[in-house]
Amino acid sequence: MSIIFRLDRVMADRKISLNELAKRIDLTDSNLSILKTGKARALRIVTLDAICRELGCQPGDLLEYQPDENSAGEDKELNA
């Protein structure tokens, strides 16, 4: 996947546990864990909004784009 969710890093910076953040944003521990470990396939905007509100961060602090090795060649072909 090309989008990396950096929730673990931001949580560590803010010194907040998974259980505490899950309670604050009204999400189950297991669902938040899926986000934290990068195994999520989708993210609701309301969830992203709640995480940013509670952690005092911007969406860009949580999300990072890294092109896949496979898609890098496809992008070059499309731009040619």
**Higher-pLDDT residue of 41, 78:** 41
The parent domain of residue 35 ranges over: 3-79
For 46-74, b where at least 16 C-beta lie within 10 A, e where not — what string? ebbebbbebbebeeebbeeeeeeeeeeee
pTM of the full structure: 0.80
Domain count, the chain: 1
For residue 45, the number of C-alpha atoms closer than 13 Å in the C-beta half-sphere is 0
User: How do residues 12-55 score in pLDDT, each as one tens digit?
Assistant: 999 999 999 999 999 999 999 999 998 999 999 999 999 999 99
Residue 78 has pLDDT above 60, yes or no: no
Residue 71 has pLDDT above 70, yes or no: no
We report the CATH number of the domain holding residue 16 as: 1.10.260.40
Packing angle, helices 45-55 and 7-14, rounded to 10: 20
